[in-house]
Structure 1
Amino acid sequence: MDSEQVDDPSRNSQGPNSSASTVSPTTETARTERVSEPSDAFQALGNEIRMGILDTMLERTDGDGPSRVSFSTLFDESDVDTSAGFAYHLEQLVGLYLHHHDDGYELTYAGERIARAIATGTYTHRVDRPSVELEDPCPFCDRRELEARSSDNVVTIACGDCDRSLLRLGFPPAGVESHGDEFPAAFDRHHRHRLALAADGVCPDCSGDVSGRLVTPSADVADELPAEYDDHVQAEFSCHCCGIELRCPVTLAVLDHPAVVSFYHEHGEDLGDRPIWNVGHEWAETVLSEEPLAVRVVTELEEDVLALYVDEHVSVVDVQRSTDDG
């Protein structure tokens, strides 16, 4: 995806005889502070009383951010007999998970993140769900035999006719549980946004810096593809902070490009209405170069053709469009 950084510093246009001095802008860097060792951070959570404190704090967090809660309110919500014993557990959370102010306690960023993860069962629940039939045809055999199933918080989209697995990706337990039989649609939107973030250079897990590159598919993926996809390549996005890697067809990496969005809009269509496991048969990918890798992604609607040229870093470097009348 193309990215653009606009740098608009102040400029001094005074002539050489001007008495005014030129002040160079000061560049400040972010200050990173390690406030705890990972083992200490998770050890502080190993107590039901402290989990209850975080839960109470989360209940009092609204859309404007964490709210401050008094000691007495937190104590009254707990099952602890003495205030002294409760104060000990509360103090174990101060610093990393709670801020202590004169008028009460407030969740830190880490405190809110861990409290929400616990509340939604991210670390404590496993959801297995029977298969749900999908209306979309399989992009490989064109039979309407696709189904979605969830096992151990991993959703698989597979075809019952050609027996190919199209997608197998993790999905938070709350996503499967709360959406019922509509969980495949939620799964689609979830990973569509994750992929869009990664393609835009931001990690969907930690918000770290992400870089992209074109790669050949792994052996497992290659085995799932028909013979006509022997020269297929994928887009890979890697986070330099947490190390997560996302791989997908190059087509999926360019769906949010302005040229693609406007192209489909002009034809009265919205690609957001199509699931990521089948965005349409009108798409085609062609490898133009192997060293470095470069791919042309083409889509055609009503004899109107859009071609995007993608370089080795998964950046669209050129866009061409042609119609039947030239």
Structure 2
Amino acid sequence: MTHDGSGDDSSRRDAATSEEHDGNATTRRDEGVTTSEDATTALAPEEAFAALGHEARTATLETLADADEPLAFSEVYAGVPLDDSAQFNYHLDRLRGHFVDQTDAGYTLTAAGRRVVEATLSGAITADPSFDRVEIDHDCPYCGATVTVAYRDEKLLSFCPDCGGTYDSIKGEREPPAPGYLGYQPLPPAGVDGRSPAEARAAAHVWNVSDQVAVSRGVCPRCAADIDVWVRVCDAHESESPASASDDGRPVCSACGNRHAAMHTAECPRCTYRQGGVLPVALLADDALLSFLLDHGLNPLSQTGGGHQFDTVLLGYEETVRSHEPVEVALTFELDGETLTLVVDDTPTVTAATRSDTTE
């Protein structure tokens, strides 16, 4: 399962907004999202970054994260590299409310404070590991060649040395990738720390399937807000392209840069989450697709073999664009002599599902 290079359709659906009043709190409801507007600890983004802008404050958060119970003032102070308790109290005061909670029992992290520490310890904001392309025991879902992987900028990138791959661009990068680019999987630095490239890819598989299950249920995997997901279909998708055609005859289209005509984009209106790619990964929570996979002994969250068969099914599918306006796309998957055809609209929602035995 991989993400594409760009996902350039930035349109969003308008949300109907209404207000309800409950006591002293005013609650907004935007298509199911409920947010409290009277929260006294709410911070603007610039205020949140400013509140974390000193090593004493990050040390305070890390000290509280290591504790199994609330800490007294003196206990927190002992873990911070400051000699002046009054100066420490000033920095602690900047964290109180949003990142640190003070109760009669002592000081603890709030959920926001814990998220900051998690991001720090995962390496997401402190580390920048990388490795160049290396061959792993994983087969290309299109031609069966041995895949190579590389890691940079928190992306686990996959390549096929023998075929045209899936995409011709990498999100956030101006330079085109090497031929045979199969896509990337987001992975924090902790995901590669102490792991071989093959183990990192297996971890990336589980990490990203978990994300995509949330997306396919309309939930942002980063902030849990409602997420916008839509389908775009290339109007000029090519049937063949000698310069980039793969061994199985399927090209990476020069018009849209993708092997498949129908792609999905997922974008959160609340946070910065934005990803896109082949259409099936936006359907991972669909009952018909899940049943088909599980009936054939294929668990989407299994790390066995790094997701070999999963990738073959979810990337090596047959696609038929039945209509551009309105969008209607048929996706056909095959496993062990049985096929599943899903008809999908632009939301994307499965409007019809048919299973057939191809051995009869």
The residue identity in structure 1 corresponding to 2:47 is: D
Q: Is the 8 A contact 2:340 2:355 kept in 1?
A: yes
Q: What TM-score comes out, normalization by structure 2 length? A: 0.72
2:45, 2:315 → 1: CA distance?
48
Q: Is the 8 A contact 2:141 2:316 kept in 1?
A: no
The 5 Å alignment of 1:149-298 reads 149-162=150-163, 163-181=179-197, 182-216=199-233, 228=250, 230=253, 232-273=261-302, 274-275=307-308, 277-279=311-313, 283-298=317-332
* Most deviating of 209-218 and 191-200: 209-218
Work out the number of aligned pairs and report it: 293
2:245, 2:346 → 1: CA distance?
22
Give the direction of change, closer, same or farther, for the CA distance of 1:224–1:279 in structure 2 (3 Å limit): farther
Match of 2:52 in 1: 45
- Deviation (angstroms), 1:280: 6.3
Give the direction of change, closer, same or farther, for the CA distance of 1:132–1:278 in structure 2 (3 Å limit): farther
Deviations 1:120-165 (A, max 9, x none): 2211110112434232322333322x11111232221111233311
- Deviation (angstroms), 1:253: 2.4
Residue identity (%): 29
Match of 1:306 in 2: 340
Name stretches of at least 5 consecutive residues in structure 2 with no aligned partner. Answer: 1-19, 28-34, 164-178, 254-259
1:191, 1:218 → 2: CA distance?
29
Match of 2:36 in 1: 31
CA RMSD of aligned residues (A): 2.9
3-state SS of the aligned residue for 1:135?
A: strand
Q: Is the 8 A contact 1:282 1:301 kept in 2?
A: no
1:126, 1:156 → 2: CA distance?
15
Q: Is the 8 A contact 1:55 1:119 kept in 2?
A: no
- 1:57 and 2:86 correspond: no
Match of 2:351 in 1: 317
1:133, 1:246 → 2: CA distance?
26
The 5 Å alignment of 1:77-116 reads 77-116=79-118
Instruction: Give 1:68's match in structure 2, choosing from 62, 67, 70.
Output: 70
Deviations 1:67-106 (A, max 9, x none): 4211011122233223222222211211221112223112
2:216, 2:315 → 1: CA distance?
23
- 1:138 and 2:143 correspond: no
Deviations 1:190-238 (A, max 9, x none): 111111111110111221111222113699xx99775745562112222
Give the direction of change, closer, same or farther, for the CA distance of 1:305–1:116 in structure 2 (3 Å limit): closer
Give the direction of change, closer, same or farther, for the CA distance of 1:297–1:119 in structure 2 (3 Å limit): same
Give the direction of change, closer, same or farther, for the CA distance of 1:85–1:253 in structure 2 (3 Å limit): closer
Give the direction of change, closer, same or farther, for the CA distance of 1:120–1:305 in structure 2 (3 Å limit): closer
Give the direction of change, closer, same or farther, for the CA distance of 1:282–1:180 in structure 2 (3 Å limit): closer
Instruction: For CA contacts below 8 A with separation 6 or more, give which structure has more relative contact order.
Output: 2
Give the direction of change, closer, same or farther, for the CA distance of 1:53–1:208 in structure 2 (3 Å limit): same
3-state SS of the aligned residue for 1:206?
A: coil
Q: Is the 8 A contact 1:58 1:116 kept in 2?
A: no
The residue identity in structure 1 corresponding to 2:187 is: F
1:235, 1:126 → 2: CA distance?
29
3-state SS of the aligned residue for 1:265?
A: helix
Give the direction of change, closer, same or farther, for the CA distance of 1:305–1:201 in structure 2 (3 Å limit): same
Give the direction of change, closer, same or farther, for the CA distance of 1:269–1:202 in structure 2 (3 Å limit): closer
Give the direction of change, closer, same or farther, for the CA distance of 1:253–1:282 in structure 2 (3 Å limit): same
Name stretches of at least 5 consecutive residues in structure 1 with no aligned partner. Answer: 1-25, 62-66
